[in-house]
Amino acid sequence: MKVLVFGKSGQVALELQRQADVIALDRSQADLSDPEACAKVIEQTDADVIINAAAYTAVDDAETNEDMAKLINADAPAAMARAAAVRGLPFLHISTDYVFDGSGTQARKVKDPASPINAYGRTKLLGEHGIVAAGGRYVILRTSWVFSAHGANFVKTMLRLGKEREMLNIVNDQVGGPTAAADIAATLLIMAKALLFDSGKSGIYHYAGAPDVSWEGFAKEIFTQAGISVNVSGISSSAYPTPAARPLNSRLDCSCVKNIFDIPRPDWRISLTDVLRELGEAR
């Protein structure tokens, strides 16, 4: 299976390169702010499968740059999906829990109504619509709270702050499933291979780590595993305002990915141990 990956330096893109022999494209080779150029790459590729692991992920910045976020998160994936459909190539794309409004406490099912509360979520939802409308073989994988040993993410931020401060205030009313980039990459590769042989598995799926936890609880586990002594206090989201509103409920019902692909939810605590070990931070 020859895989073409849009994205080269992002968390999931890096893990895809570690786990499989893929062709990963950086911005100089495929700039998502030029959707038609990205489509052209697919028109000319000899790959069997296309994975889009690139996105505009600056959630707060998207509030004032929604047009650019839409170009990268919606227009580009739609153009890619159309080009893939013409070629008959499976197209896999990473989406987000931010397509939901974060209300309630129940895990969101794939078919639950989407109603994003920020610009990032709106652009990602538009991208989903464009991919479905393309009419080809596709997987849209909604995930949440991605972490790894690469790039900027919550785990690396907590490790830095935990060494700098004696006390930290961490949001405790947002709940979701932390998900290791390595687990997402492995799942995408399994799904890609399945989609090559069974177009009936096309669809939107949820995939997130278990158990669900608050950011405060996630931080405490990071500090425990890393052996960092720091006092952590929980605060509400209202006490830590950000330009973009965050969903309080990021729980995702992942039963479809288990039922269709036999992929269970990964235990993020085990994946966290692997990441800390790679960073040299495991106790």
The pLDDT tens digits for 79-129 are 999 999 999 999 999 999 999 999 999 999 999 999 999 999 999 999 999
Among this protein's residues, is 207 annotated catalytic? no
pLDDT of residue 283: 78
**Start-to-end CA span in the chain (Å):** 39
User: Out of 56, 120, 205, 207, which one is annotated catalytic?
Assistant: 120
> Span 138-143, mean pLDDT?
98
Residue percentage of the chain with pLDDT more than 90:
98
Given a cut of 80, is residue 282 above it in pLDDT? no
| Average pLDDT for 190-205 | 94
Structure tokens at 162: 């935990």
The yes-or-no verdict on residue 279 having pLDDT over 80 is yes
Quick one: CA dihedral 231, 232, 238, 240, positive or negative?
positive
Cβ partners under 8 Å of residue 114, min gap 6: 99, 100, 125, 128
- The span from the CA of 16 to the CA of 73, in Å, is 20
Give the tokens for residue 156.
């690396």
Answer whether 144's CB lies under 8 Å from 191's CB. Answer: no
Could you report the per-residue pLDDT of 219-234, keeping only the tens digit for each? 999 999 999 999 999 9
Task: DSSP letter for 26, please.
Answer: -
65 is written with which tokens? 């740059």
Residue partners of 144: CB distance under 8 A and separation at least 6: 96, 97, 176, 177, 178, 179, 208, 250, 252
Would you state the pLDDT for residue 65?
97
> Residues of the chain with pLDDT > 70: what percent?
100
CATH numbers and ranges of domains, the chain: 3-153+178-210+251-266 (3.40.50.720)
Contacts of residues 161-164 at CB distance under 8 Å and 24 or more positions apart, as own/partner, are: 161/230, 162/222, 162/223, 162/226, 162/228, 162/230, 163/228
Number of neighbours of residue 106 by Cβ within 10 angstroms: 10
pLDDT tens for 38-80 read 999 999 999 999 999 999 999 999 999 999 999 999 999 999 9
Enumerate the β-bridge partners of residue 52.
6, 93
pTM of the model: 0.96
**Digit-coded pLDDT (tens) for 234-253:** 999 999 899 999 999 999 99
Beta bridge partners of 250: 176
* The pLDDT of residue 148 is above 90: yes
Q: Give me the pLDDT at residue 46, please.
A: 96
Q: How much is the mean pLDDT over the chain?
A: 97
pLDDT (0 to 100) of residue 73? 98
Q: Report the C-alpha gap between 95 and 93 in whole angstroms.
A: 6
Residue 169 has pLDDT above 80, yes or no: yes
State residue 219's pLDDT score.
98
Q: Give the pLDDT score at 199.
A: 83
What local confidence, expressed as pLDDT, does residue 140 receive? Answer: 98
Residues 119, 81 contacting (CB under 8 angstroms):
no
